[in-house]
Amino acid sequence: MPPSRRDLLASVHPLAKELRRIEDQAAADYGVTMWQYAILSVVSDSPGLNQGQVARNLQYSANRIVADLDELQERGLLVREPGQDRRANQLHVTEAGAALQRKVQHDVHDREDDLLAGLSPTRQRQLRAALQQLAQQMRADS
């Protein structure tokens, strides 16, 4: 009898939950939510995206992003700018927004390093590479 194979979700679920806890806490330490931090990260990487594009990139929803953007804009961390297509808002982070994003990300990466410390550097690279390939593949499928 083969050793009973366990569902992948049985190991991915705890990891996702812990990573989410890490991001929740790191973001909260700087006064934003995890999703607001995620929005700042995507818009920092790709300035000029519109709201729908950011929502899809994050697998977030187009209606919930509205209130997050309202708050980020109100706090001067991000701006909505009109483009040629006057329906769509081009999003850009401010200097303050970029600085906050970098601080949160630094904390997140430190805590991720602690979490993965039990794996050899090689194993860590393999894990990150496999996860990124799968994520990219799923983005292409959808």
Number of neighbouring beta carbons within 10 Å of residue 102: 13
CA-wise closest residue to 96 among 22, 34, 32, 20: 32
32 DSSP assignment: -
46 binds DNA (CB under 7 A): no
89 binds DNA (CB under 7 A): yes
* Residue with Cβ nearer DNA (41 or 89): 89
At closest approach, how far in Å is the CB of 6 from its own copies?
8
How far from the centroid of its chain's Cα atoms is residue 6's Cα? 28
The residues in 9-38 that bind DNA, with binding defined as CB under 7 A, are: 33
At closest approach, how far in Å is the CB of 106 from DNA?
23
7 binds its own copies (CB under 8 A): yes
Q: Which does 99 bind (CB under 5 to 8 A by kind): DNA, its own copies, none?
A: none
3-class secondary-structure state, position 84: coil
* Residue with tokens 């679920």, as numbered in its chain: 13
Q: Binding residues for DNA, how many (CB under 7 A)?
A: 19
Contact 103, 33 (CB under 8 A): no
- Side chain identity at residue 59, one-letter code: Q
Contact 34, 20 (CB under 8 A): yes
List of residues contacting its own copies (CB under 8 A): 4-20, 22-23, 38, 41, 45, 59, 105, 108-109, 112, 115-116, 118-119, 123, 126-128, 130-135, 137-139
List of residues contacting DNA (CB under 7 A): 33, 50-53, 61-64, 66, 69-70, 80, 84-89
